[in-house]
Amino acid sequence: MGLPRWSPSKCISTGTNGEGTAGGCRRTARDGARNGVESRCMTENTLESVLSGVRVLEIGGGVAAAFAAHFLAGYGADVVRSEGPEDALTHDEAIYLCAGKRRIVATGSELRQLALAADIVVEDGKPGTLAAMGLAPNGLRAAKPALVIVSITPFGQDGPYAGFEATNIVSFAMGGLMSLTGSPHRAPLLTGGNQAQCLGGMNGFGAAVTAYYGALVQSEGDWADISLQECAAGMLELYGPGSASTGAGAQMRMGNSVRAVWAIYPCADGYAGVCALERQVHALFDLLGDPMLNEERFRDPFQRAENDDELQAILYAWFAQRTRAEILALSPIHKVPFGAVLTPTDLLASKNLQTRGFFDSVTTREGVAQMPGRPFEGFLWTMGALHAPGADTEAVRREWIAGVPA
C-alpha cells in the first residue's frame, strides 16, 4: 500500500507567484502557466503513486541516466525515453532499465518542446552535449524556471577532467573504489555489474526528487551536476577521510581476509564468512569447540595476531564441513556474526526477497524476466510494460507537445 504524498489534512500548492497555501487545496493549472508547478493533493482514500503525474524526459541515456529514471518510473512518473545510440544499453540492460517507460525518437526543436513540457530532464551525455542539441540547461531553465535538470557525467560539468570520457571500469577506478577491491598483493579488481554508473544513477534519482520538491515549494527548479567520480569518492569511509585525519596514509585493500576472525572462507556449497568484533571472538571460539583456542595465545588479542595463520587454518577446516545454511543458522543461536555469499540465482530464490515482494516481472519476447524492484518499502511502486524503441512517439507528441512553443 502506498503512502500519500501529503497529509490528508494538509497540502501545499505553489503557483506562478511562488506563494504556497496550507490546509485546503489550491491547484495551479499547468496549461497557460509557464512557470507554474501543479500540486497534486491526496485524500485518505486515494492510492496514488508518489510521483503520479510528474513528467520526466530521459535523453538518450546510458546506464546512469536510465537507472535514475528507472526509479522515477517505478514511483509513478511518466518517464519518456528519447532513444540515443543503439549501443547505449545492452539487450539485458534495456529490459531492466526501460520497462515502465515510454520510448520515442525525437531530435531538434521537438526535443526542446518535450524538455519544456517535462518537470524533470535526466541525461548522461558529455558536458556540452545538451547545448549542442539546442538544449542548453541555462536556456531551458530561463524559459521554464521550475524545470529540474539532472546531468550525470564521469567527472562533472567543469574542471580539468570534464571533457574526459570514461567507461564503468574507469569511473570505478578514478573514484577510488577499485583501490579497495581485491588482494593487497595483486592488481585491484572491478566488482560485478556497472556499479560506478548505477551509483551515479542512484544519486541522480535522489537529486531529481529533491530538486523537484524544491520546485513544488518555491517554483524554482535546479540543474544538478552529478559526477561519478565524486559519487564513488564519497564512499571510501576509513580508507579516505579517515586515513587523512590520522596522518597514517592511505590504507590498502585487504582482500577477503582482514584477519582470521574477519574473513571469507570456502564452505561445503559456496562461500561464507565471519566478521567478529573482539567482544564476539570468545563466542566464536566456544562454537568452534577446539580446546587449543582456550590457550592464552589465542584468547589474548595481541598474541592472537601473531598466530593468525594457525587460527585461519582452524577456521578453513570448520567452514569446509558446513553449508551456508547451516552456518547462518548458528549465528543467532551463538551470537556470532556469520554471513553467506549469495549468487544472483540464490537471490531470485530468496524467500526473504520473495516475501517482501522485491522482484518485478517484466514480459519480454524471450519470456518473463524477474528484475530487481523498488529500492525501499513504503511508497506505492509499480513497474509497467517494456515498450519497443520509438513505439510511443506519436502518443507523446499528442500528449506533451500540444501548446508548447517550438
CA atoms within 13 A on the CB side of 134: 12
Query: Which residue is it, cell 513540457?
Result: 117
Give the three-class secondary structure for 344. helix
Return the number of other C-beta atoms located less than 10 Å from residue 104's C-beta: 24
- Which stretches within 144-256 are classed as H helix? 168-174, 195-218, 228-233, 241-246
Q: Which CATH number applies to 257-346?
A: 3.30.1540.10
pLDDT in tens, the chain (406 residues): 232 332 222 333 333 333 333 333 323 323 333 344 443 443 334 468 999 999 999 998 899 999 999 999 999 999 999 998 888 999 999 999 999 999 999 988 899 999 999 999 999 999 999 999 999 999 999 999 999 999 999 999 999 999 999 999 999 999 999 998 998 889 999 999 999 999 999 999 999 999 999 999 999 999 999 999 999 999 887 776 666 666 666 677 888 889 999 999 999 999 999 999 999 999 999 999 999 999 999 999 999 999 999 999 999 999 999 999 999 999 999 999 999 999 999 999 999 999 999 999 999 989 999 999 999 989 999 999 999 999 999 999 999 998 677 6
pTM of the shown model: 0.84
Report the alpha-carbon distance of residue 241 to residue 134 in Å, rounded: 41
Which set of grid coordinates corresponds to residue 24?
485546503
β-strands 20-21, 13-14 pairing: antiparallel
| Chain segment 287-312, per-residue pLDDT in tens | 999 999 999 999 999 999 999 999 99
pLDDT for 239 equals 73
DSSP string computed for 369-400:
EEEE--SSSSS-----PPPPTTTTHHHHIIII
CATH number assigned to the domain covering 49-234+370-401: 3.40.50.10540
Using the Cα atoms of residue 96, residue 97, residue 101 and residue 103 in order, give the sign of their dihedral. Answer: negative
Q: What is the pLDDT of residues 240-291, one digit of tens each?
A: 666 666 666 667 788 888 999 999 999 999 999 999 999 999 999 999 999 9
SS3 content of the chain, % helix, strand, coil (to 5): 40, 15, 45
Cell of 282: 570468545
Domain ranges of the chain: 1-47, 49-234+370-401, 257-346
For 378-381, which contacts have Cβ atoms below 8 Å and span 24 or more sequence positions? 378/2, 378/3, 379/2, 379/3, 379/49, 379/50, 379/75, 380/1, 380/2, 380/3, 380/47, 380/48, 380/49, 380/50, 380/75, 380/76, 381/2, 381/49, 381/74, 381/75
pLDDT of residue 402: 80
How high is the pLDDT of residue 249?
67
